[in-house]
Structure formats: structure tokens, C-alpha cells
Amino acid sequence: MVREISVIAIDGPAGAGKSTVSREVAKRLGFMYLDTGAMYRALALAVKKAGIDPQNDKSLASLCKSLNIRFDAAQASPRIFLNGEDVSEHIRTPEIDMLASKISAIAVVRQEMTRLQRAVAEKAGRAVAEGRDMGTVVFPDAKCKFFLTATLEERARRRYEERRQRGEKVDPAQVARELKKRDEQDEKRALAPLKPAEDAVIIDTTQLTIDEVVDKICGMAKPRFAQTQK
Ligand code: DC
């Protein structure tokens, strides 16, 4: 028998506020936080470490199958482990940004990641799933679907701030260019492109604070899960 799972799907482009918002919504509602972008990033890191040609479907498929990805949300900032190693910081570089986006267009990668993501959510029972295709492909039956957006200028400003606070030397114009390129790559790919599900609620976060977005999402999601919450 297939176990019924409760999923809140949150999709949108980079810098729209998905991660912070999803983490907070998960915390407030007692759901697991499933960061699917981090999974594509971990795979990209594995591809880089193994020196695999991203065009080689066979090597990619066997790498995907041997991958051991684990989340630990118990700490203040959620951690992701790749084959036992904490790679949470290693996956947040401009090189991995682009490589994750590139390999995420490949069919064998999407198949394996989709399977893994469903398995993780099923095990948790209740999850806030964040990514690009949560509402459209991975969890089309999710009870609540949201699509976060913001202007390119605002998203670039947030990414720039994030990286500056991590102590990186960054050029704002370069950050905006990279973000735009990645959006285009993610939107134009043939498989599971970045787009809102037909039944998703679209939230423009340009002028909103994190708390305002979280309140909005929790306010809409809570009544829908009232019967399933124990
Ligand atoms: O959300 P993020 O920036 O960490 O995601 C990194 C890349 O992974 C993104 O550019 C595209 C890909 N991705 C995807 O194709 N599908 C998802 N559900 C999540 C991420």
C-alpha cells in the first residue's frame, strides 16, 4: 500500500527566498524540510570529484545509483552529507551553481533524483519540498503548491549579500549575470523546466519580508492539513 504523504511544494527561481522560507515553514508546521536543490548540488560535487564528463549518460547513471545523500535538519543550519561527508559549504560555490543547473537537464539525473526525493518525503510522511519542479513533476498531488518570484534585481541583490556575508569577494554585476544565465538554463530545458504548476499560488516576494511570506504560506497551508495533522 502506498503511504499517504503530506507535501507543501515550493518552487521558484534562484534568490526568490525559497530556502529561508521553506525552512521556516517546515519548522513552524513540524514538517521535514526537503531541499532538492542541495541534492542536485551534491550530485554536481560528486561529478566534479569523480572527474566524470557530464555528457556521459552511463557514468552519470551509475554515479547517481551509488550516491548516498543524507540530510540532518537537527542543527541550526540544515546539513547535507554526501557519502558520509558534510558537504553543506562545498556545494555553495558559483562553479557548483552552474554545474548543478547543467546536469539537472539530463534525463537519467532527473529520473534518479525524482525517485530519491519521493522516497525521502515518503519516509518523513510530511515535507516542505523546495525546488524547481516540486509542484509540476515530483509531487503533482501536493495539497499546497507555491511559486515564489522576485525581480531579477532583488534576487541578485539577495544573492550578492549572502555571498558577501560569507566573506567572499563578489562583483554585483557578475552575480546578476550568473543568476540570469542559470534562470534561463532552468526555464528552457526540455525536462521538468522551472515553471509554476497550474494550481500553484504565485507569491512575488520583492517587497515582502521573510516573515510575511512564511505567514502567508502557513496561513493557507494549515487549514488544508488540519485533518491530517496528529
Ligand atoms: O535551488 P538551488 O539553487 O540550490 O538549485 C541548484 C540547481 O539545481 C538549479 O539551478 C536547478 C537544479 N534544480 C532542479 O533542476 N530541480 C530542482 N527541483 C531543484 C534544483
Whose Cα sits closest to atom 2 in ligand 1?
A: 37
68 assigned to some structural domain: yes
What local confidence, expressed as pLDDT, does residue 76 receive?
74
Average pLDDT over residues 147-155: 97
Residue 171 to residue 97: CA distance in whole angstroms:
16
- Total residue length of the chain: 230
Which is more confidently placed, 174 or 229?
Answer: 174
- Model pTM? 0.94
Whose Cα sits closest to atom 11 in ligand 1?
A: 101
- Cβ–ligand 1 distance for 35 under 6 Å, the answer no
Residue 95: CATH number of its domain: 3.40.50.300
> What range defines the domain where residue 25 resides?
6-225
Residue 138 DSSP one-character state:
I
Residue 52's identity, in one-letter code, is: I
Average pLDDT over residues 60-84: 88
230 assigned to some structural domain: no
Convert the pLDDT of each residue in 162-209 to its tens digit.
999 989 899 999 999 999 999 999 999 999 999 999 999 999 999 999
Ligand 1 centroid–CA 230 distance in Å is 32
Whose Cα sits closest to atom 13 in ligand 1?
A: 37
Q: How many domains does the chain have?
A: 1
66 assigned to some structural domain: yes
1 assigned to some structural domain: no
Question: Best mutation site among 104, 133, 179 for ligand 1, i.e. most ligand atoms within 8 A of its Cβ?
Answer: 104
Q: Is the pLDDT reported for residue 2 higher than 60?
A: no
What residues form DSSP beta bridges with 9? 129, 145
Which residue from 129, 107, 106 is spatially nearest to 36, judged by alpha carbons?
Answer: 129
Which strands, in side-by-side order, build the sheet including 85-86? Answer: 69-72, 79-82, 85-86
Atom of ligand 1 nearest to the CA of 91: 4
